[in-house]
């Protein structure tokens, strides 16, 4: 048995391949649930990481994700969602994946050991950036090298790993330990470890978006509405927040150039889109205090 938690053998794996399909799936489901619960112990660290991410993005710095293999895929899934879901400028999101995007068709293992590649990839990192390095083992050479270069360049480091003694945690500004149990298939960290990472990424980036003012009463008010489904969702948000009818909400969305925040302010009594933008500028892009300006001046009150 390996002394590394992510390589250890699960106590119930004996005879796994001899079990009935439903019994195997029951054990696999149990493993996923146990992995998910590991996130509970990392909430404080995730909150600290979200503060680093939101302050970096607010100041105009880049959010850099770095990883290899399955962990890199979890990082990529989070990175690719942020511009569309929360309107975070794509130029502020950088993905460093061992082997590059071209590796996605084959996922070879060798690039995760390539320190020189990591050092070249990390040249995009600058002081004032925030780098999230993820590795199930916490010892992946690619992730370690990116973290080392990023630290030397003055970036802030968030480290995410599934082993308590992870080398990746050394020198990190926020260390997210996801203490997942051994995998039912030993070392297959795309399973439980990956599930915990995905949950942690979801939590981290969502909290950061809330702190940036991109969420209002559970609505993603800074989304990029670039298809029919999202335009309809945006109009529903405007309607629900402002109390305007859905047809009026669509009209305000057009007047706002597709911005939910501006459309809500127009429905609240902003005389035009420029006035709404100015109110948002005064509030740092946060809808609630900007909305309060027009609630106070026009007597508008949000529908309960």
| Marked catalytic residue, from 34, 81, 248, 295 | 81
Query: What residues does 63 pair with on adjacent strands?
Result: 93, 130
Relative to beta strand 93-97, strand 215-216 is unpaired
- 301 φ, ψ (degrees, to nearest 5): -135, 135
Name the CA dihedral angle for 26, 29, 34, 40, rounded to a multiple of 10 degrees: -150
**Could you give the residue ranges of the DSSP H alpha helices within the chain?**
21-37, 43-58, 69-86, 115-121, 141-152, 192-211, 228-242, 246-255, 260-267, 273-282, 287-298
Query: What residues does 269 pair with on adjacent strands?
Result: none
Any catalytic annotation for residue 248?
no
Number of H helices, E strands in the chain: 11, 7
| Marked catalytic residue, from 7, 14, 23, 112 | 112
Any catalytic annotation for residue 112?
yes
Name the CA dihedral angle for 133, 200, 76, 81, rounded to a multiple of 10 degrees: -130
Tokens describing residue 109:
């293992």
Tell me the catalytic residues.
81, 112
């Amino acid at each position: 048995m390996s002394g590394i938690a992510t390589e250890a053998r699960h106590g119930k794996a004996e005879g796994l391949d001899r079990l009935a399909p439903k019994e195997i799936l029951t054990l696999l489901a149990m493993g996923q649930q146990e992995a998910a619960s590991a996130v509970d112990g990392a909430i404080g660290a995730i909150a600290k990481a979200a503060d680093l991410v939101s302050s970096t993005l607010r100041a105009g710095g880049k959010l850099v994700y770095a990883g290899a293999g399955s962990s890199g895929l979890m990082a990529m899934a989070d990175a690719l969602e942020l511009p569309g879901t929360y309107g975070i400028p794509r130029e502020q999101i950088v993905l460093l994946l061992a082997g590059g995007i071209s590796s996605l068709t084959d996922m070879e293992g060798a690039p995760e050991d390539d320190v020189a590649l990591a050092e070249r990839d990390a040249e995009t990192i600058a002081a004032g950036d925030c780098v999230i390095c993820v590795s199930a083992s916490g010892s992946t050479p690619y992730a370690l090298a990116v973290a080392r270069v990023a630290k030397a360049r003055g970036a802030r480091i968030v480290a995410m790993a599934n082993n308590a003694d992870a080398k990746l945690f050394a020198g990190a500004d926020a260390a997210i330990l996801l203490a997942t149990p051994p995998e039912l298939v030993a070392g297959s960290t795309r399973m439980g470890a990956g599930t915990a990472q995905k949950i942690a990424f979801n939590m981290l980036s969502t909290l950061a978006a809330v702190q940036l003012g991109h969420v209002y009463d559970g609505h993603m008010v800074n989304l990029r509405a670039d298809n029919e489904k999202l335009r309809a969702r945006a109009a529903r948000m405007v309607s629900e927040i402002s109390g305007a009818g859905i047809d009026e909400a669509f009209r305000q969305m057009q007047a706002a150039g597709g911005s939910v925040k501006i459309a809500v302010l127009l429905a609240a009594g902003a005389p035009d889109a420029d006035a709404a933008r100015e109110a948002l500028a005064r509030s740092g892009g946060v809808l609630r205090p900007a909305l309060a300006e027009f609630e106070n001046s026009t007597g508008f009150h949000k529908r309960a």
